Structure formats: C-alpha cells, structure tokens
Amino acid sequence: MHNRKTKEIAIACVGVVVIFTAFVVWINIANAPVVYNAPPRPVLPNPNAYDTYVRAAKSLVYTDKIGEANRYNSAEKKAIIKANTKALSVFREGLIQDFSLQFPDRHVWPEYGQLRGLSRAVSLEAFVYKESGENCRSMMTSLDGLEMGIDTAKGGNLIAGLVSIAIQAIVRRNVWPTVDLLNLQETYKAIKRLDGLITQTVSYKSVMQIEMYDSLSSCEELLNSSDWRNQLSHPYMLAGSGTKFKEYADHALEYTKTLGMTRRGLFTGIYNDYSKLIAASDLPYADFVMVKIPVSNQISEMVIPDLGQSRFKFEYNRCMNDLLLLQLALHAYKLEHNKYPVNLSDFAPEYLKFIPLDPFSRGAKYKYRLTSDGYTLYSLGPDLKDDGGKAAFHPGYPNRWFVDYESKGDIVAGYNQ
C-alpha cells in the first residue's frame, strides 16, 4: 500500500515536472524575439520625382501669401506666381520623372506638408491663367498638380495616401468652372490626360499593404525591446490619464495584464488583423463598411485605422476625379452635338473607352439625367442612397458643400468639393 502511494506521488511529480517544463519551453518559444521579414521594396528611381517635388517646394517664396491668395487682387496674384517661376519650373521637371517612396517613410512626413504648399502654388497658378483667359493652360496646370498628388501615394503608406488625396483636393478646387470654357480640341486633350492619370491612381488596398509592412516593422521593434511590457502599459499608451496616482495605478494594472501576453502572440494577432483588413479591401465600399474586424490586442487597436473613414477618403477622391472626367466628356459631347447626351453610355467609345462606375454603389454607373438648364450628374455618396441629386452637406459646415464619412445626400458634380 505504501509503495503504491509512493509510486502515485512519483508519477504525479513527474507529471508536474513535465507540465512545468513544457510551460517553460512554450514561454521561451512564445517570448523569443519576433522576426519579421518585410517584403523587399523596389529600388528607388534616380532621379526620383519625389526629391524634385520637395526641392521645388523648398524653393517657393511668399508661401504665406500663397495660402491666403484669395485676399489679393489679380495683379498681386500674378506677382506671387512670377516670383515663383523657378520653383514651378523645377516642379515640372518632376512630372517627367518616375516617383517612389521608400518604406518606412516617417522621415518624409515634414516634407509632405511642403508638398501641400507646392500644390497650393500650382492651384494659384491655374487660377491666374484662368483669370487671364488662358483656359486650356489653366486646366493643364490643374492636371499637373493632380499628377503630383497621384504620384505622392506611390510606394507610400496610409499617411502618404492621405496626403495624396489632400493635394488632389487642393488642385481640383478651382477646376470645375474651367471645364465649360474649353474648346473641343482643348477638352479632348484634358480628357485624354485625366483618363491616363486616373489609371495611375494607387488603390486603398495597395496603400494599406504598405501600411501593414510599416506597422509590423514598428511592432517588431517594440516587441523586441527589453522593456516592451513597460512600454505597452505606459500611461501615454493608455486612453486617458488623470492624477499622477491614477497614472501609476493604471500603469500597474496594465502591466499586470501584459504578464499573460507573449511577443509572438501579440505579433501574430496584429498580423492576422491586418491580413483580414487587406482581404476585405477587395469588397465594394458598400460591403466593406459593413465588415467588422475585432482587434486581437491593444497594439492592433492603436495601429489599425478606422476602416470606414480611411476607405471613404480614397473612394471619395476617386469619385471626384471620375465626375471631373465625365463633366469634360459631357462638355465635349455638347460642343459636337449642340446638346447633352440622353445617357452616359452614349460616351463610349468615342469620348471615353469605359464609363466609370460609382464607388458608392455596387457596380452601377454614376447617376445622370437631363434638366431644363443642362444636366445633373452625381454619386450616391457615403450614405449609399439615391437622394435624387440632392447635394450632400456636412452638418458642421452647412454653407460649404463639404463631404465626409457621415454626410447625407449625393455627391453632385460641380457642387461638392
């Protein structure tokens, strides 16, 4: 009896040792340094249009006046542009060069602001040409700026993509009234160029793929640091703070939570969350915004952007470029036939090879109808409903036709910006 009991105790002890050993081995494996091999990036072009654009932006003068150009008269605007002749010439050197950003690209963030400043100068130049009656030159200048904006997302992450969208919005702002001032040859020229630029637009999925590489590389660096638990639970990483005592208490509580986490477990969770987002990016916008991807851990919660709002910005930008292209095609048709077409399908293939589809619908064309004084052309907009061409507005800016993720109404060509 005694021997049997001793044998049972020995077996139990061996079992405990085996379990403990397995646990230690698992902990060591799970907490081994994270190794992430980001996909190789293409070699940067030489010369790189990015460097040329930045050089042009840095050589601008009267940048404060460029940003406040609406306060100046025509002569003063012309003087500002004349003073920036060299900078604008350098900018156009970049238009004939290849463009690419190298990942990771945090070091270029300050320069993104300078590129936005350059886009304002280009927009002002287009405005000056329009005021002087040089309508085709004004349109081509706006398309120059649009090309720089489209370039800016190439090889970049989400920040680069959002800067790209901002630049395009700046140079598009004054372009709509110019369309109806072009003659037929000028309109065809603008259609051909804009159509080509749209085909170069970087997709949301491509940008988010680079964002994923960037974030995973940053997470690798964080998780491989010796004090990653302390960093993960530091008050600045938390949603809120308060008194010093509360900060310390929150820190201690969050640090305790990290004891149940492992490096590999956290990294795998982030990788899987991003992979689901990338896969969902293939869905039409209307289906994408319905997707719910629960984050696996607090790092994912911090690094993965709001799905609906980030995707909306890309689709809205695409929508505005499409509407501009369609407006040009409508103008060309009117010049040739002395009337607007009954349907958008009348464009193909003489004016446009393909009629673009509304990104806020599930595979349908933009809405179009003739009116007593012309036509109404519109997209369903972010609410995904046909409001009959009633232009969307932002509740916070009722006097501006500004559209964002929560706007109600349609995106109407010539009204919304």
d(CA 326, CA 337): 16
CB atoms within 10 A of CB 316: 24
Q: Dihedral (C-alpha) 191, 139, 315, 414: value to the nearest 10 degrees?
A: -100
DSSP-derived secondary structure letter, 412: E
Specify the pTM. Answer: 0.88
Q: Which sequence spans correspond to the domains of the chain? A: 48-202, 207-303, 306-417
User: Which run of H or E residues covers position 376?
Assistant: strand 374-379
Determine the Cα–Cα distance for residues 65 and 75; give it in Å rounded to an integer: 13
275 within 8 A of 257, measured Cβ to Cβ:
no
Q: Top-level CATH class of 306-417?
A: alpha beta
* Length reported for the chain: 417
Residue 346: is it exposed, middle or buried by C-beta count within 10 angstroms (0-12/13-18/19+)?
middle
Q: Residue 244 corresponds to which tokens in the numbers above?
A: 């010093």
Q: Enter the tokens of residue 222.
A: 């964080």
Q: Mind listing the pLDDT tens digit of every residue in the chain (417 residues)?
A: 556 666 656 565 555 554 544 444 444 455 688 888 888 878 899 999 999 999 999 999 999 999 888 889 999 999 999 999 999 999 999 999 999 987 656 667 789 999 999 999 999 999 999 999 999 999 999 999 999 999 999 999 999 999 999 999 999 988 999 999 999 999 999 999 999 999 999 999 999 999 999 889 988 998 898 888 888 776 544 445 455 556 656 656 666 676 778 888 889 999 999 999 999 999 999 999 888 888 888 888 878 877 778 899 999 999 999 999 999 999 999 999 999 999 998 888 889 989 999 999 998 999 999 999 999 999 999 999 999 999 987 666 655 567 888 888 999 998 887
Strands (E), 199-352: none
